[in-house]
Amino acid sequence: MTDITPGLLDGAIAPSENTRLFGHADAESFLAHAYRSGKVHHAILIEGPEGIGKATLAFRFANHILGHPDPATAPETIADPDPASPVSRQIASGASHNLLHLTRPVDEKTGRVKQAITVDEVRRAGKFFAQTSGTGNWRIVIVDPADDLNRSAANAILKILEEPPKRSLFLVLSHAPGKLLPTIRSRCLPLKLEALDDAAMRAALTHLGLEATEKLIASARGSVSQALKLVNYGGMDIIAAFDDVLSARGPAARKAMHKLADVLSGRDSETIYAFFLSHIGEHITDRARAAALAGDLNTADRLARLSANLGERVAISLGYNLDRKQTVLSILEDMTA
């Protein structure tokens, strides 16, 4: 049985309910033909940047399969789901007995989404297959995203992938497939999606009721989730504040750092904090690339090490629940050193 996606961004449509997909016609065509051929791989790794439609594609493909359980008679294309059809209604409401959506669970004590997909969540897949083993129906598991699996959960998923049940399909989503266990990657067929081009972004943003300005499209870098964070979570203000930190000097720089750190460490700031870390990573990558192209290899190497250090520091901060403001300040100090 599916669950409604926790932590859905304001202004977004849950992938299980979204009837439109933009920019991935080739991927849809590949999946439709693979299924119709009767030779679809039991595990497909749908990879690409965050917020480009990977989960929406996964749910559309699941809807296609459950709506056409005989591959030989399935259509050659994946149509937009019909919200009135029984299959679509069951998927959208989380009532489908043939589809399991594994994602980060909500902590019952705090009401917040946990930092990882736990082994307890993966054990649900074992129960799911056991309960549906005699039906003869397709059974589909969407892992969303596999990047969030902790070590125990990743090993548990691997065991199922090694001996998949009959008529089962795993749709494994990943923003950073290089960080997955190599053994998981080796058991999946990779399907790479690219960031949305400007035309697809414009259509996707209009579908969500947003004004698709050129500035928003350029700033979002082909990611609808980034666009939502820019518009609905103050992302544009965070970028402006970060630019102020980089341009300021002396006491003014310190004041700008504390102002930005206060915003990012405020209550219920998880979404914008993640946006800030993503923006920092992109900023460092862009600078490193520019330095390398200009032949300044020393600067490029320093920035590469800074990027690695940033990732380690954030992981430690999250793992030990360290003070977020101090983490942000230390990151900004390194950025301006």
pTM for this structure? Answer: 0.92
Q: What is the pLDDT of residue 4?
A: 47
Q: pLDDT tens-digit profile of 80-119?
A: 999 999 999 999 999 999 999 999 998 888 888 888 999 9
Query: Whole-angstrom Cα distance, residue 198 to residue 223?
Result: 10
Are the C-beta atoms of 68 and 78 separated by less than 8 Å? Answer: no
Q: Is residue 304 part of a domain?
A: yes
Residue 10 domain-assigned?
no
Write down the pLDDT at residue 40: 96
Please return the burial class of 171, using the count of CB atoms within 10 Å of its CB with bins 0-12, 13-18 and 19+.
Answer: buried
What sign for the dihedral angle of Cα 154, 155, 157, 163? positive
CA distance 245 to 242: 5
Which segment of 142-156, 211-225, 230-244, 320-334 scores lowest on mean pLDDT?
A: 320-334
Please indicate, yes or no, whether residues 164 and 257 belong to a single structural domain of this protein: no
Residue 298 to residues 188, 286, 288, 289, 303: CA-CA distances in angstroms? 38, 15, 10, 12, 9
pLDDT over 90 percentage in the chain: 84
Are residues 288 and 180 part of one domain? no
Question: 59 with 177, same domain?
Answer: yes
| Interval 150-154 mean pLDDT | 96
Same domain, 29 and 126: yes
| Strand blocks (E) in 136-263 | 139-143, 168-174, 189-192
Last residue of a domain, one of 140, 163, 194: 194
Domain boundary among 136, 165, 194: 194
Query: 88 is in which domain, residue-wise?
Result: 25-194
139/127 Cα distance (integer angstroms): 12
- The count of structural domains within the chain is 2
Tell me the C-alpha distance between 23 and 194, whole Å.
9
152 shares its domain with 248: no
Would you say residue 83 lies in a domain? yes
Same domain, 41 and 184: yes
CA gap 26, 77 in Å, rounded: 11
Give mean pLDDT, residues 245-254: 95
| pLDDT tops 70 at residue 2 | no
Identify whether 18 is part of a domain. Answer: no
Give the pLDDT of residue 3.
Answer: 42
76 and 175 together in one domain: yes
Same domain? For 256 and 138 the reply is no
Listed residues 178, 194, 210: the one ending a domain = 194
At residue 124, does pLDDT exceed 70?
A: yes
Q: Which domain CATH number covers 31?
A: 3.40.50.300
34 and 113 fall within a common domain = yes
Q: Are 34 and 221 in contact (CB under 8 A)?
A: no
Q: Which residue has the tokens 């991935």?
A: 24
For residue range 25-60, what is the model confidence (pLDDT) as tens digits? 999 999 999 999 999 999 999 999 999 999 999 999
Higher model confidence: residue 314 or residue 158?
158
